[in-house]
């Protein structure tokens, strides 16, 4: 394979399909998205990759950080902005420290004055462009599902969400669809729903399984409630809010963690939150039930993995709907938990359980991120710059060692190289 085709395979339709790790976040391989212009001249994303009509445009995007790779000319074809080749000659004089997904080495930073405030990354050989998530939304909106929607449909959806948020005050994810089926989310959520119904019917009495910090401190044999309290909820509203956050944030986290590690995240966050509640809750604190400590760990993982994801939120009292980055929402939320735990006399909420679960998720996620980056690098043809500059993944090291041993055996036997 020569340098011009390194990092790409050819599918049965004759299209080049990249095999590259995301050059920005390194958490996922780039996946193809197929766009086709409809009769009204608008670009639409096609779901069926097996039947692509003539004129289909194939881009390569990261489903984690939302960055996208444009081969030369593709951005102009979309028509969102005309990228004059003269502007791309405004080289900023430094490397982007990111690898070209086509395998041509490091890209360079270029300025696009008048179009973007931040520089874009461009390969000096194939002249492809990499746009980070925010840059993609600003410069190539038609490559996102949100940007492909009709204005009337978009306004109708925003109006429906606004009305729902007036009643619930729950955030809504703008554009971060899950890849694959989040089985752990479904199983865990289903178990919470079933056990709540059993407690309503009187088969289980939730108080028997609740966590009471003062009681556990006086009788360590009750430590088992650090796990059992997760499975019961005070009422239907308590359960539904937890299920909502579990689904909205948990499906994406499960995809990157994998089922086993995601299960450990839920268990570890719940246990850590419970232990902090036991140690720090005041003697008069009521019994604690609910999965919010476990879900706080999911929020921390989501914040680490998808800081550029955006949420729709209606501001209380002024009823204005705003679109905010997830890092703003989550940091405000955890900040409120810390403030309430430190200064509030309100004891009906398990502030310390939330803080402890969040701390566990924040500590576990970097470990999983490193594992995930190594695994993705080993499965693609073009790893990200992080692995060209650092130690190669274990799989790559083993492959190189096997090649070295094979060369040594051939040299010892006197056979010519293949």
Of the pLDDT bands very low, low, confident and very high (cuts 50, 70, 90), residue 214 is confident
Question: Tokens 């289903």 belong to which residue?
Answer: 190
Question: Where are the domain boundaries for CATH 1.20.1540.10 in the chain?
Answer: 151-375
Q: How far apart are CA 33 and CA 69, in angstroms?
A: 10
Token pair for 171: 């955030």
Contact 120, 128 (CB under 8 A): no
Residue 408 to residues 189, 232, 412, 418, Cα–Cα distance (Å): 55, 63, 6, 13
Of the pLDDT bands very low, low, confident and very high (cuts 50, 70, 90), residue 6 is very low
pLDDT of residue 233: 93
Instruction: Say whether pLDDT at 329 is over 80.
Output: yes
Instruction: Say whether pLDDT at 109 is over 90.
Output: no
pLDDT digits (tens, 9 = 90+) for 256-314: 999 999 999 999 999 999 999 999 888 778 889 999 999 999 999 999 999 888 898 88
CATH superfamily of the domain spanning 151-375: Rhomboid-like (1.20.1540.10)
Tell me what the mean pLDDT of segment 210-237 comes to.
Answer: 91
298/10: higher pLDDT: 298
Question: What are the E-state strand segments in 264-309?
Answer: none
Least confident of 32-36, 124-128, 239-243, 383-387: 383-387
Token pair for 396: 């790559």
Q: How far apart are CA 196 and CA 238, in angstroms?
A: 10
Q: How far apart are CA 23 and CA 389, in angstroms?
A: 13
Q: How far apart are CA 370 and CA 373, in angstroms?
A: 5
Sign (positive/negative) of CA torsion 38, 43, 44, 46?
Answer: positive
Q: How far apart are CA 165 and CA 173, in angstroms?
A: 12
Strand 310-315 relative to strand 172-173: parallel, antiparallel, unpaired?
antiparallel
């Amino acid at each position: 394979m020569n340098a011009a085709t390194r990092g790409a395979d050819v599918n049965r339709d004759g299209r080049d399909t990249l095999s590259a790790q995301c050059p920005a976040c390194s958490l996922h391989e780039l996946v193809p998205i197929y766009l086709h212009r409809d009769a009204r001249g608008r670009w639409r994303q096609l779901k069926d990759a097996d039947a692509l009509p003539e004129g289909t445009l194939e881009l390569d995007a990261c489903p984690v950080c939302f960055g996208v790779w444009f081969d030369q000319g593709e951005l102009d074809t979309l028509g969102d902005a005309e990228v004059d080749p003269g502007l791309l000659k405004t080289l900023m004089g430094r490397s982007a420290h990111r690898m070209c997904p086509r395998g041509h080495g490091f890209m360079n930073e270029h300025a696009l004055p008048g179009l973007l405030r931040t520089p874009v990354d461009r390969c000096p050989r194939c002249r492809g462009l990499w746009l980070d998530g925010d840059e993609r939304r600003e410069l190539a909106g038609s490559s996102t599902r949100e940007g492909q929607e009709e204005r009337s449909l978009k306004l109708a959806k925003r109006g429906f969400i606004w009305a729902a948020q007036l009643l619930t005050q729950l955030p809504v994810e703008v554009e971060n669809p899950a890849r694959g089926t989040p089985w752990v989310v479904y199983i865990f959520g289903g178990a919470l729903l079933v056990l709540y119904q059993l407690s309503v019917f009187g088969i289980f009495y939730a108080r028997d399984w609740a966590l009471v910090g003062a009681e556990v401190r006086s009788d360590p044999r009750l430590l088992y409630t650090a796990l059992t309290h997760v499975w019961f909820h005070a009422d239907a509203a308590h359960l539904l809010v937890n299920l909502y956050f579990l689904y909205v944030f948990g499906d994406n986290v499960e995809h990157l963690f994998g089922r086993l590690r995601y299960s450990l995240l839920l268990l570890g966050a719940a246990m850590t939150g419970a232990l902090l509640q036991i140690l720090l809750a005041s003697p008069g604190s009521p019994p604690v039930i609910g999965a919010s400590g476990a879900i706080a760990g999911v929020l921390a993982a989501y914040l680490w993995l998808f800081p550029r994801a955006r949420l729709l939120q209606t501001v209380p009292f002024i009823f204005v709907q705003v679109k905010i980055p997830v890092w703003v929402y989550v940091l405000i939320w955890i900040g409120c938990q810390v403030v309430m735990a430190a200064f509030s006399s309100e004891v009906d909420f398990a502030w310390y359980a939330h803080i402890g679960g969040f701390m566990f998720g924040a500590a576990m996620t970097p470990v999983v991120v490193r594992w995930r980056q190594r695994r993705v690098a080993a499965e693609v043809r073009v790893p990200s710059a992080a692995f060209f500059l650092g130690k190669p993944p274990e799989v790559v090291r083993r492959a190189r060692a096997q090649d070295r041993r094979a060369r040594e055996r051939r040299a010892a036997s006197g056979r010519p190289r293949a």
